[in-house]
Chain A
Amino acid sequence: MSLFDWFANRRKADPVQPDGRERDIADGLWTKCEACSVMSYTKDLKANQRVCSECGHHHRVFSDERIQQLIDPETWVSLNAQITPEDPLKFRDRKAYSDRIRETQAKTHLQDAVQTGVGQIDGLPVALGVMDFRFMGGSMGSVVGEKLTRLIEQGTQAQMPVVIVCASGGARMQEGMLSLMQMAKISGALERHREARLLYIPVLSHPTTGGVTASFAMLGDIILAEPKATIAFAGRRVVEQTLREKLPDDFQTAEYLLSHGFVDAIIPRTQLKSTLAQLIRLHQPTPTLATVS
C-alpha cells in the first residue's frame, strides 16, 4: 500500500466509532488550525488551552475542558446535573425534538447545554456556569434556564461571585415560549444577585448570540470576551438583509463590541483564569488597618 492509499483510506474511515460515538477531535493526534492551517500536536494544543501557538486563534473549547482550565484541581462540585430536558411541545421539525435530545445526549455525554457548579479559582470560591456549544448549538431551553437560575440563586445565598462562560445560538426554538421566558427568569435571579452587591462576570466565547446576548451575557458588572468571538443579537445574514451595503468585516466581533463600548475587556484564554482571580480579589472588601496589624 502506497502512502497515498494510506491517506485515502484514512480519509474514508468512518468518523463514527463502533460504539456509535462520533470520534472526538481530541482523539486525532494532530489538529489543523482553522485560521492559519498550521498543524499542531493535539496534546500541545490542549495544553495551551486550545489556543493556536502559531497565530493565537482560539479553537472551540467544550464545558469539561473549560472547567478544568478555570477551576483549581479537586475543588469542583457539580450542581443540578440530574436535571434533564423534556419535550413539552411535542416538537417535530425534520426530526422529533425528543430524538434529537436523546442522540445529542449519547453523542456528547451531556444532559443539556450547560454545566454548573461551585469551585475555586486561585483559591477564591465562585459559582460557575459553562455553556456547551456541542449540545444543540448551546441553545437555551428550560434546563439551561433552570440550572443557571439555581446557580445564581446559590451564589446569592452563599455570597459568591458568579461567572458564566457563554457559548450559544440563543433561545431553543423546540421549547417555544418556555425558552424565551428563561431569559427573564435568569435576569430576575441576576437582579437579586446584584441587589446583594455581589459580582457577576459573563465571559463571552464564540459564539454568543440571540436570546443569550439579550439577557445574561450582557448583564455583567464586568463583561469579558474571548478574542474574535462572534457576539450578536441578530445574526449577520439577517442584518445583511436589512442593509443594502456590505457589513464591516469585524462586525459583531468581540473587538467590534469593545470599540463600541459593550464589553469591558478582551482576554486571551491563557490569561482568563488569572484575570478572573484578579477581578474577584479586587472586589473583595479591603482589609482595615486594624485587621492587618
Chain B
Amino acid sequence: MLGYFGDFVDMATTERKPILLDFEKPLVELEDRIQQIRELAEDNAVDVSAQIHQLESRADQLRQEIFTSLTPAQRLQVARHPRRPSTLDYIQAMSDEWIELHGDRGSGTDDQALVGGIARFNGRAVVMLGNQKGRDMKDNVVRNFGMASPGGYRKALRLMQHANRFGMPIFTFIDTPGAYPGFEAEEMGQGEAIAYNLREMFALEVPILCTVIGEGGSGGALGIGVGDCLIMLEHSVYTVASPEACAAILWKDATRAPQAAEALKITAWDLKNFGILDVLLNEPIGGAHANPLKTTEILKDALQENLNRLLALAPQDLKQQRYEKFRRIGVFAEAHTVSA
C-alpha cells in the first residue's frame, strides 16, 4: 500500500503528460503559442521576454477565468478528473503514520473500493477511511471505479465503531459515482448496509469530519457521510442521483446530463445555500490535480481547525449537535390551520 505514497509524490513532482478537459482548450492553445514564440526567439536569437511575460500573465488570467466560472457540468468533469488526488493520496500525504486495515469480518471479501485504517494526524491517532477510485484502468478494475459493495460499508462501520471505542476522531473522504449497483451487491444487502451506517453514525461519540474530495454520489456517499462537519473541495460535487441517471429518468434522454447537472444543484455553493455544507475549501487554480500538495495542505489545515472545535465538545453535546445539524435540513411550507 505504500506504493500509493510513492505514486502521490510521483504525481506531484514529475512531469507527466497532462490530461486536459475540453474547456481548457483555449488555455492550451495559448500555452502552445507561448512555447512556439519561445522556440522561434531562441532559434533567431531575439529577445522576446517582455512579450512572453505578457502572454504568460494572460495565460494565468485565462486559467483563473476558466476555473472560476465553471458550469456545474464542467465542475463535474474536474471532480471526475483521472488525476484528481484520491482518498489514499490525501491520507498518506497528511499523515505522520498510516496503517491500512482490511475486511468487514463477515462478507468473506475485502472491498478495495472503500479503504480505511488508522493514521497519526498532527500527533493524534485518528481513523481515516474513504471511497477509493483507481489511478488507471487496471487499478480501476480492482477498485471497482470507487463503487463500494455492502462489505465496504460494513468495513467502514467496523472501523468507525473501533474509533469510537478508542476515542479516536473519524475522517471520511467521499469520492464515488455511487454505491455499486451490481447483482452481488444487491444480494448482500446494499440498502441495508448503507441504512445501518446512517443510523449508527448518529450513535458515535467521537468527532466525525466528512470531506467530499471529488464525486459525492448519492447514497454511496452518504453511507460514510453522516458527520459533525461537512467539508467540500471547491471543484467537488454532491448529488442525489448522477446527472446521467437523472437525465435518463426525468428527461428520458441521457444526453441531457449537462442540463440535469445544472438543475440538480450539485456544487459546493448550492449545498452551502441549502445549509448542508459547513466548509467550502478553495482549490489551487487549475484544480486539486494541478497542485496536489498545496491542496493537501489546505485540507489538512481545515481538518485540524474543525477538529479542534469539535474536540472541545462533550460527547453528548457532540451527538446532540450532529442530530440538530441534520434535523434542520429540508425546505417545506407549513400552513397554519385556522382554529375555528
Q: Mark A251-262, 1 if CB is under 8 A from B, else 0.
A: 110000000111
**Residues A79-126 near B (CB distance < 8 A):** 82-86, 88-89, 91-94
Identify A185's interface contact among B179, B329, B337, CB under 8 A. Answer: B329
A205 within 8 A of B: no
B323 within 8 A of A: yes
Interface residues on A, range: 35 or more
Q: Is the CB of B333 within 8 A of A219?
A: no
A143 within 8 A of B: yes
Q: Is the CB of B199 within 8 A of A181?
A: no
A173-B240, A177-B239 known; A183-B263 Cβ under 8 A: no
B78 within 8 A of A: no
Identify A183's interface contact among B182, B219, B333, CB under 8 A. Answer: B219
A195-B203, A219-B199, A260-B187 known; A91-B263 Cβ under 8 A: yes
Q: Mark A168-183, 1 if CB is under 8 A from B, else 0.
A: 0001011111111111
Q: Is the CB of B333 within 8 A of A85?
A: yes
B202 within 8 A of A: yes
A175-B331, A180-B222, A239-B182 known; A89-B264 Cβ under 8 A: yes
Q: Total A-B residue pairs with C-beta atoms closer than 8 Å?
A: 191
Alpha-carbon distance A192/B203, docked complex (angstroms): 8
Q: Is the CB of A89 within 8 A of B265?
A: yes
Interface residues on B, range: 35 or more
Secondary structure of the A contact surface, majority rule = helix
A222 within 8 A of B: no
Chain A residues with Cβ below 8 Å from B203 are 191, 195
Nearest chain-B residue to A169 (Cβ)? B249
* Whole-angstrom distance between the Cβ of A163 and the nearest chain B Cβ: 17
Q: Is the CB of B330 within 8 A of A185?
A: yes
Q: Mark A233-267, 1 if CB is under 8 A from B, else 0.
A: 11100110011000100011000000011100000
Nearest chain-A residue to B323 (Cβ)? A188
A178-B274, A180-B218, A214-B194 known; A82-B199 Cβ under 8 A: no
Alpha-carbon distance A211/B276, docked complex (angstroms): 18
Q: Is the CB of A142 within 8 A of B266?
A: no
Q: Is the CB of A178 within 8 A of B329?
A: yes
* Whole-angstrom distance between the Cβ of A241 and the nearest chain B Cβ: 8
**Which B residues lie at the A interface, using CB under 8 A?**
179-183, 185-187, 189-192, 194-196, 198-200, 202-203, 218-219, 222-223, 225-226, 238-241, 245-246, 249-252, 260, 263-266, 270-271, 274, 276, 322-323, 326-327, 329-337
The 4 closest A-B pairs by CB, nearest first: A234-B181, A213-B191, A142-B330, A233-B191
**Which A residues lie at the B interface, using CB under 8 A?**
82-86, 88-89, 91-94, 142-143, 145-146, 149, 171, 173-185, 187-192, 194-195, 210-211, 213-219, 231-235, 238-239, 242-243, 247, 251-252, 260-262
